[in-house]
Amino acid sequence: MSKENGNSRGNDSRIFRYGYLVTLLFLTLSGFGQLPIFKRYYIADIPGFGWLAKFYTTHYIHYLAAIILITLLSYVIASHLLINRRYQRVTLSGYIKGALLGGIVITGIFLVLRNLKSVTLSPGLIIFLDISHLGFVMVFLMAALHGLLFRNKWIKIQ
C-alpha cells in the first residue's frame, strides 16, 4: 500500500513487503537446500552458493526464516483483524494464498515437532507431512507467481 491508497505508512509497507519477499526467498532456497538438488546439479559450485549444499546450514537458515515468516504473518493477521478490517477486504487471491501459507506453516510445525526427541510420529505420517509441506510450497509459489503476473492483490481497499 502507498500514500495514494490512504495509508500514510507507505515506507513501512514497502519495508515490510521487501522483508516478506526476502524471507520467502531464503525459505525457498533453504527448503530446497534440504534436498540434495543443489549439489547434484552443481548449483552449489557457483561462487557464493556453496552454502546451499550444507545440510545443517540450510536447516538453521530455514528455521530462522520460518520464525520470521510466522512473526510477519502473526503481525499481518492481528493488524487486519484489530485495525484494518473496517476499510480493507481480503480478496479471493488473498484467501487462497493465506490458506496455502497456513498449510505450509501447520505442516512445517509438525515437521519441527518430529525432530524433538520426545515426539514420535509414524513413518507414514512423516511421509504425508513431507509431501504435503512440499505440495503446499509448490502450489503457493505458483499462486504467488500468478498473483505477481496478473497483479492480484491480497487485499482491496474499500
pLDDT at 4: 46
Averaged over 79-103, what is the pLDDT?
94
Averaged over 36-63, what is the pLDDT?
94
pLDDT at 13: 85
pLDDT at 85: 87
Averaged over 76-103, what is the pLDDT?
94
pLDDT at 12: 75
Angle at 133 between CA 109 and CA 147, to 5 degrees: 110
pLDDT at 9: 57
- Does residue 12 contact residue 23 with C-beta atoms inside 8 Å? no
Cα torsion angle, 96, 147, 131, 48, sign: negative
Averaged over 58-64, what is the pLDDT?
97
Quote the pTM value: 0.88
pLDDT higher than 80, residue 5? no
Amino acid residing at 125:
L
Residue closest to 111 by CA, chosen among 127, 92, 94, 99:
127
CB contact set of 137 (below 8 Å; sequence gap of 6+): 28, 31, 104
**Model confidence at 3, in pLDDT bands (50, 70, 90)?**
very low
The three cell numbers of residue 35 are 534436498
What gap in Å lies between CA 62 and CA 12, rounded to an integer?
Answer: 25
pLDDT tens digit sequence for 8-38: 556 778 999 999 999 999 999 999 999 889 9
Averaged over 32-50, what is the pLDDT?
93
pLDDT tens digit sequence for 92-133: 999 999 999 999 999 999 999 999 999 999 999 999 999 999
